[in-house]
Structure 1
Amino acid sequence: MILQLSSPWRWVAMLAVVLLASCDSSELYEQNIDLKDASGQPYVWAVQEKPSFTFTITDTTQLYDVYFNIRNAADYGYYNLYVKHTLTAPDGRRVSTLLHEMKLMDAKTGEPLGNGSGDIFDHRILALPQQRFHQPGEYRLTLEQYMRQDALAGIMAVGVRVARHEAAP
């Protein structure tokens, strides 16, 4: 016996299949924060703004890849972005602090890098490859823009993605 779904249920079933197929089984955590300055002006990363992301690690035997997500407008004034991260363990101990240079545009041509549509570009940059977390619990990752500018226009959002490291085949 073949079960035939009425038209509305057929659409619901197809949507469920698409959603389940698009899930990334290695992803543990992902969050993005839209940026604006103190006056409410959007797409500005103020030097005082230090977005923090909290994620939970339960398996300390696993290696993880930590990515930074950056969304910028095409009118962002630089080809790169310096971001400092501070990773704090569940016991409050600082695990790491590092300054990252991320290329958002080709330095010679000015051509935007990343995935884009119109004048908006998304970048997923591997910042901490094969990271090992030695304690189970909640970790906090704080990001700071390090561009020597109080208000960095053109950066729309920043985020963090934590995924289980998968060895290349």
Structure 2
Amino acid sequence: MTRLVRTDEGNAYDHLGLRLRMRLTGGDTAGHLAVIEHVGRRGAATPLHRHSREGETFVVLDGELDGWSDGDHTVVAAGDTLHLPAGSEHAYRVRSTTARFLLLVTPAGFEQFFVADGTPSDPAAELPPVPGPPPAQAVERLGQVLDGYGVAITGPPPA
């Protein structure tokens, strides 16, 4: 089924210091693909982690990200695309003052983690602050939630 997503469409959530907007979900694509727009400030990052089933592709629209995959570091700038296959240990951090990028998740399904673990937000609101290092209890809880999606936290955000 053809699906057009207008600029102002898609539910928004704040998660790990990022504003996420669901552009396409598995429900829109018969489970093949999810597209999530991310916007964040410098320092917003994920811990090192590994997906057992999804590949993730980052398309940077504005700004820059630091990307890590299996021990390698790269700067992903506006116009660049970075694909991380399932099974790779990876993380990213917003490098520039702000960055806007699309995350393509294949196959879909993992986008539901952001819905379940994020905080519903107004897409026009000020961006959330970058959180400091999470307490051990929060990391443990996040790890338990991610386990249900076939994702394992393998370490803190790279330095």
Structures share fold, TM-score greater than 0.5: no
For the superposition of Structure 1 and Structure 2, which TM-score range results when normalised by the shorter chain? 0.3 to 0.5
Between Structure 1 and Structure 2, which shows a larger proportion of strand residues?
1
| TM-score, normalised relative to structure 1 | 0.35
* Structure showing greater relative contact order (alpha-carbon pairs closer than 8 Å, 6 or more residues apart): 1
| TM-score, normalised relative to structure 2 | 0.37
Q: Indicate the structure (1 or 2) with the bigger Cα radius of gyration.
A: 1
